[in-house]
């Protein structure tokens, strides 16, 4: 299977969705669905065809699969934050934002090695 084709197809779909709708809450649900469908498609492809080389497998998990997965995580988190964001009270809104920033910082501190690994470019 041509992994790059799936990657660019997803990238195109996401760009189109982001252009058509600027409201993050409205945008989240269709993008989450697109990412889930792409991950299922990739999973079926891996199960059915596997990898030809170790380098192809590394590229798949580092670049191809990480793209829809990261978008899925991002948009699910944004949707969750938007839905549960306090509607009134500036102090409660600031407290909510600070709590989420603290949570994100803890995540990156716990996963520093993984983040660095994924940030490095794969030389083919």
What pLDDT is recorded for position 118?
66
Do 95 and 52 reside in the same domain of the chain?
no
Q: What is the pLDDT of residues 13-40, one digit of tens each?
A: 888 877 776 677 778 888 899 999 999 9
Do 60 and 94 reside in the same domain of the chain?
no
Do 36 and 70 reside in the same domain of the chain?
yes
Average pLDDT on 44-49 reads 90
Do 74 and 91 reside in the same domain of the chain?
no
pLDDT confidence band for 121 (50 / 70 / 90): low
Do 10 and 57 reside in the same domain of the chain?
yes
Do 65 and 110 reside in the same domain of the chain?
no
Q: pTM of the entire structure?
A: 0.77
Range(s) of the domain holding residue 124: 87-124
Q: Count of domains in the chain?
A: 2
Is residue 17 packed enough to be buried (19+ CB in 10 Å), middle (13-18) or exposed (0-12)? middle
């Amino acid at each position: 299977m041509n992994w790059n084709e799936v990657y660019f197809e997803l990238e195109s779909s996401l760009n189109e969705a982001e252009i058509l709708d600027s409201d993050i809450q409205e945008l989240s649900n269709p993008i989450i669905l697109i990412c889930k469908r792409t991950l299922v498609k990739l999973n079926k492809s891996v199960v059915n065809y596997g990898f030809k080389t170790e380098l192809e497998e590394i590229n798949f998990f580092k670049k191809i699969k990480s793209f829809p997965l990261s978008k899925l995580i991002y948009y699910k988190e944004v949707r969750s934050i938007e839905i549960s964001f306090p509607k009134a009270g500036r102090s409660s809104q600031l407290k909510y934002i600070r709590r989420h920033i603290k949570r994100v910082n803890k995540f990156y501190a716990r996963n520093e090695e993984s983040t660095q690994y994924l940030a490095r470019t794969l030389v083919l």
